[in-house]
Amino acid sequence: MRKSLIVVLTFAVLGAAQVLVVDQAGREVLIPSQPQRIASAFGVATPYLYAFVPPENIVAARYLGLPDHPLSRAVMTRIDPNYTEKALGAEITVEELVARDVDLVFAGLKHLDLARVLSEVGIPSVLIGPETFEAVKDATLLIGRALGQEERAKDLIQFYEEALARISRATSAVPAEKRPKVLVLGTSALRVASGAMYQSRMVELAGGIPVTAGLPGSWQNVNIEQILIWNPDVIVIVPYSQVQAADLLSDPIWAEVEAVKTGRVYKMPQLLFAWDTPIPESVLGILWMAELFHPGAIELDFAELARAFYREFYRCELKEEELSALLGR
């Protein structure tokens, strides 16, 4: 992934200062130095925007996972009471963004055609592709700088790095043969995260070994025979899956899988957005997994850490019942 770069150029273009950005697609883009009406055409970009700017500056966005998650909706409504009015559908049109009078759009690497048409109507866009942990940090800095929130972006990266350092201190001496073999399940019981995906890197950072390390591509459909060959010690189910831990624990087809025999099957929590995706909250997903993989070794109050994270980066004080629901207490 090419590192993004930002250079600040102050000059008169229609009377406004602009910033020259090189985004994660390698495009040079002039953007307003102080954008006021920001849109996210990419669900992964939306959590970054809410971490960096007041909700009134976000006028349109994709909200992945919120419609199906009651706790997410409740907390998001406190953060931004008007978020449902800002929601964009799966098919985003330039006309819709023009109608909302946006002055900057964040989108994904797959949105090159959208970016080209936006440019033709005078709306700049910044493309991000945070598919590795390094690219997540890169995207964090890029978005923070583009929004004039570089120090806040650095604070978020510091939170990431301190969390990972805490895990590393607790697990670095654990040899590979003592680390749990982990399988990440997606939207169905036989759909797994490949070794190339962000979810597998999260497993590694949490002190586990992804059993799909040699599997290329993205989400892959496999059969139960392959899962029995992998025989994971721990199974993690993504938050947006229809599969529940109880489904596997009670299914005789899965009974011989080590994680099922020992009861180490877990569904990852979600608060605002899914913790297994390459967004700011994924650091909580890594810490949550580390506690599961190495019980008692990390020495942290996870509930208090999560409360502090949302207070600091999303300006939201979690209620005790929300923390309990989040952590299944």
> pLDDT tens-digit profile of 95-116?
999 999 999 999 999 999 999 9
| pLDDT at position 64 | 84
Q: How many residues comprise the chain?
A: 329
| pLDDT at position 14 | 47
**Span 304-313, average pLDDT:** 95
| pLDDT at position 286 | 97
**Span 256-261, average pLDDT:** 98
| pLDDT at position 68 | 73
Q: What is the mean pLDDT of the chain?
A: 92
Q: Is the pLDDT of residue 10 over 70?
A: no
Q: Do domains 5-148 and 174-327 have the same CATH topology?
A: yes
Confidence at 16, pLDDT banded by 50, 70, 90: low
Q: Is the pLDDT of residue 141 over 90?
A: yes
Looking at domain 174-327, its CATH class is alpha beta
Long-range contacts at 201-205 (CB < 8 A, ≥ 24 apart): 201/132, 201/133, 202/276, 202/282, 202/285, 202/286, 202/289, 203/236, 203/289, 205/133, 205/164, 205/167, 205/286, 205/290
CA dihedral 85, 93, 54, 238 (to 10 degrees): 80
What is the rounded CA–CA span in Å between residue 173 and residue 163?
17
| pLDDT at position 181 | 99
| pLDDT at position 92 | 92
Second-level CATH architecture of 5-148: 3-Layer(aba) Sandwich (3.40)
**Span 1-26, average pLDDT:** 65
**Span 294-308, average pLDDT:** 91
CB 317 within 8 A of CB 233: no
How many Cα neighbours within 13 Å face the side chain of 30? 11
**Span 319-326, average pLDDT:** 91
> pLDDT tens-digit profile of 214-239?
999 999 999 999 999 999 999 999 99
| pLDDT at position 329 | 52
| pLDDT at position 228 | 98
Classified as helix, coil or strand, 276 is coil
| pLDDT at position 94 | 95
Listed by start position, the domains of the chain span: 5-148, 174-327
Confidence at 6, pLDDT banded by 50, 70, 90: very low
Express as a percent the part of the chain with pLDDT over 70: 95
CB 42 within 8 A of CB 128: yes
Q: Is the pLDDT of residue 207 over 50?
A: yes
User: How many angstroms separate the Cα of 297 from the Cα of each of 14, 170, 171, 294, 323?
Assistant: 57, 6, 8, 6, 22
Q: Is the pLDDT of residue 253 over 80?
A: yes
Q: Which two tokens stand for residue 283?
A: 């650091």
| pLDDT at position 168 | 94
> pLDDT tens-digit profile of 81-98?
999 999 998 889 999 999
User: How many angstroms separate the Cα of 126 from the Cα of each of 71, 147, 189?
Assistant: 30, 11, 36
| pLDDT at position 67 | 64
